[in-house]
Structure 1
């Protein structure tokens, strides 16, 4: 057995030149990319700021952290969750017709191709740019964040929906058709039971992403907790920034735990 292994190893394809060429190309790419990196000479000032940030995180401002008014962390976190939640629902609803139009097993090739181009165009623009665009339309506030989250959700959710639709087990539909079921019955008992778990899991996963994106969108005035965070950091109020960051960490961990439990339940039935 050992001799066979040694013989197979000795007769293996010799691709040393190929491996060396790939290694050289990767090394050149790394060196070329590193040439564009500039190390900031922050010195003691940068270390001092980093120390103040860490000190603020470990010593958050209790008056802001437990303030139940509209300026407090709990209200701002609730607003951020609402923006992410409603934005996810609206985006998931709008993604359904686009997904069915893009499914190659349901639609003719030209229609599916055009629909996929639309989805790709939507996914191309970053959420930050959408936020700046919608602020010009509806002004700063939570509604702008809702519109931004909705449009940004369409791209990824549609892509996941399409995969679920194209993976449908057509044998179930053929069995229902053989039993004389109507179109509504085939949708009710053949299509929806296959799609709903995948769709729900996708929506929950997208909500996790939107919750983090909603925080960033607050920086451009699209509602949520992002704006108070950047204002506190720009004013060097590290205790207030620490209180906001502590609230964000707790919120993300809580949502992550709940969403994981729900996704596992959906996957296992």
Structure 2
């Protein structure tokens, strides 16, 4: 799914920039037109703190070596640290637009990657979970997901707490993103849980994702209105993302 609009709550959507809303890409009308009519895709992603682009690490390394520049040499020219340059080459972090433009000027070649929104959208998040907006229980569960091999993004003001996706997915069904409610309180009654399940289910249909709950209470059954329930202790016993996804599928089919 792609959100297309003119403005967000606080500002106009700039063209040729990809925004994110609850884990979904959001773009302006002209950007969509450029993609469909002219096959021109945006490169810039708006995130906390500014605008960023993804560097083509292979091209960056190839041209750096062609110019006989060490990592430190190029890092000094681009006014970043050697460690940051290493991360650029290995696709570990995004670069701000100013640094990317400077690198392209130094190397005299394009090094940024287009964002093809017609392909399954995946934010470039590694195993470290972004838990900045989560409480302690949610943060712990998010970190447990990250340890299993999921990229995790926390969310605010939505029916779910986090968006997760397996970092290494060899099969198509392992590439489906997950939406999770990581902090369901044990004292919440069955009626409340069912209302939450309906919201998650509706959202999962729109976003083509697999929803699940994380609960502490062992008395709760394995699913609530078709939404899988994973116990907190189970997350610590599962060994990897593949096993976790299998558990979700089994609970969903119960």
Please report the TM-score for the alignment, with normalisation by the length of structure 1: 0.21
Highest relative contact order (Cα 8 Å, sep 6+), 1 or 2? Answer: 1
- Scaled by the length of structure 2, the TM-score of the pair is 0.22
Rg (Cα) greater in structure: 1
